[in-house]
Amino acid sequence: MTSTETITRAEVCAVACAEIFSGAGEIVASPMTPMAQLGARLARLTTEPDLLLSDGEALLLAETPPLGGKSPIEGWIPFRKVFDVVASGRRHVVMGANQIDRYGNQNLSAFGPLHQPTRQMFGVRGAPGNTINHPTSYWVAKHSKRVFCDKVDIVSGVGYDKVDPDNPAFRFLDIHRVVTNLGVFDFGGPGHTMRARSLHPGVTADEVADNTSFEIAGLAEAGETRLPTEEELRLIREVLDPKQVRNKEVPA
């Protein structure tokens, strides 16, 4: 029997990442980091069997392999078709972030001024198109003031304060969740600001506040993130991540 007594923070995070996809239905899940990938695969093996998952390159997986593992395929999704899916809205992406502000603006492009940054990252990648078209969530392995800042240097992922209410082109913006090593958040606070949904077992409100530059709504009232079930633990430990890749992102 799988032990529930020694549940790690990483395992709690994996389940929180799986719950990002609760009720998602038959859409493409695009998790961009190993932890989010673990979550998406866990969701597919438990409550969300109709999720579509790609190998991260161009093939749709018919089965749900462990992280780094192979699976028979069920279809083809080269990059050009990904952009069709983005525009269709039938997708939920979980991106990483160098910065996120209280309205959900995200930066993975560069730090500093647009035309002469102090540090260059990827550029905006697909973040503008993702956020304006379909549900988007974020995974942050190390919740800190540097990431959760007052103002992002470059808006790659669009936040709620950028929405023009008179322009229906913005109607699909949906920043669904932010999952970090400390808790689960959304943008259900006043004026679509970041709100705490739950803190992981052992995490205090003070710890979150000390590691966030802005005030998070509902922090004092937030309950505890639920623990993995025995079945989820078995899937995480024995099926999906036997090599414990999860512990590299969130140390036990």
Which residues form the interface with another protein (CB under 8 A)? 57-59, 76, 78-80, 83, 86-87, 109-110, 112, 114-129, 131-133, 154-159, 162-164, 166-170, 172-173
| Helix %, strand %, coil % of the chain (to 5) | 25, 25, 50
Q: What residue type is assigned to position 70 of the chain?
A: K
Q: Provide, rounded to whole angstroms, the least separation between the CB of residue 56 and another protein.
A: 10
Q: CB-wise, 36 or 222, nearer to another protein?
A: 36
Comparison of 68 and 112: residue with beta carbon closer to another protein: 112
Residue whose CB is less far from another protein, 24 or 173: 173
Residue with the two structure tokens 């198109």? 129
Task: Dihedral sign for Cα 56, 42, 184, 52, please.
Answer: positive
Could you give the 3-state DSSP secondary structure of residue 221?
Answer: coil
Please identify, using beta-carbon distances, which residue of 23 and 119 lies nearer to another protein. 119
CB of 68 to another protein, least distance (A): 14
Strand partners of residue 189: 193
Which of 98/198 has CB closer to another protein?
Answer: 98
Cα–Cα distance for residue pair 193/231, rounded to 1 Å: 34
Q: E strands of the chain, at which residues?
A: 28-31, 52-53, 59-61, 73-76, 91-95, 99-100, 106-107, 110-111, 119-120, 136-140, 175-180, 183-189, 193-199, 223-224
Q: Which two tokens stand for residue 172?
A: 């699909």
Give the shortest CB-187-to-another protein separation in angstroms.
14
SS3 for 60? strand
Q: How far is the CB of 29 from another protein (least distance, A)?
A: 18
Instruction: Compute the least distance from the CB of residue 30 to another protein, in Å.
Output: 13
Minimum CB distance to another protein smaller for 126 or for 228? 126
Diameter of the chain measured on Cα atoms: 57
**Closest C-alpha among 217, 190, 209, 98 to residue 152:** 98
What's the min distance (Å) between Cβ of 107 and another protein? 9
